[in-house]
């Protein structure tokens, strides 16, 4: 669709149970050991209709970014992408307000 959806989450701004859940998902993904990009980058994948993801996490001043696509996402990263995608869609709906496009 050529549509960009993004969100920014600060665990300091979340209720404790949501922050803990997000940190658990990050830990389960072993996020900081994932490669930054697939071997040839998302744009070189054969599928023309795939979603691309860029996830950047900063913990204690250490930042790591992972770029992938829905056809190349490592299985251990899928729960994090699902969680962040859900938050991004909720944020988008909230910013549309009543009567906005869904």
CA distances for 18 relative to 25, 51, 60, 76, 77, angstroms = 11, 26, 19, 19, 18
Residue 46 has pLDDT above 70, yes or no: no
102 pLDDT band, cuts 50/70/90, is very low
Residue 89 has pLDDT above 60, yes or no: yes
Query: What count of Cα atoms within 13 Å lies in the side-chain half-sphere of residue 93?
Result: 7
pLDDT tens profile 25-36: 999 999 999 999
| Counts of helices then strands in the chain (DSSP H, E) | 2, 2
What is the C-alpha separation between 35 and 15, in angstroms, rounded? 30
pLDDT of residue 57: 94
Q: In this structure, what token pair is assigned to residue 26?
A: 């990050």
95 pLDDT band, cuts 50/70/90, is low
- Helix then strand then coil, in percent of the chain rounded to 5, is 45, 15, 40
What mean pLDDT is predicted for residues 14-40? 88
Residue 42 has pLDDT above 90, yes or no: no
């Amino acid at each position: 669709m050529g549509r960009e959806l993004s969100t920014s989450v600060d665990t300091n701004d979340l209720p404790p149970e949501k922050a803990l859940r997000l940190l658990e998902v990050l830990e389960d993904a072993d996020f900081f050991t994932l490669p930054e990009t697939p071997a040839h980058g998302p744009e070189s994948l054969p599928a023309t209709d795939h979603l691309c993801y860029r996830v950047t996490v900063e913990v204690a001043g250490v930042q790591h970014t992972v770029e992938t696509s829905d056809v190349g996402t490592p299985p251990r990263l899928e729960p994090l992408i699902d969680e962040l995608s859900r938050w991004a869609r909720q944020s988008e709906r909230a910013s549309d307000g009543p009567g906005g496009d869904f």
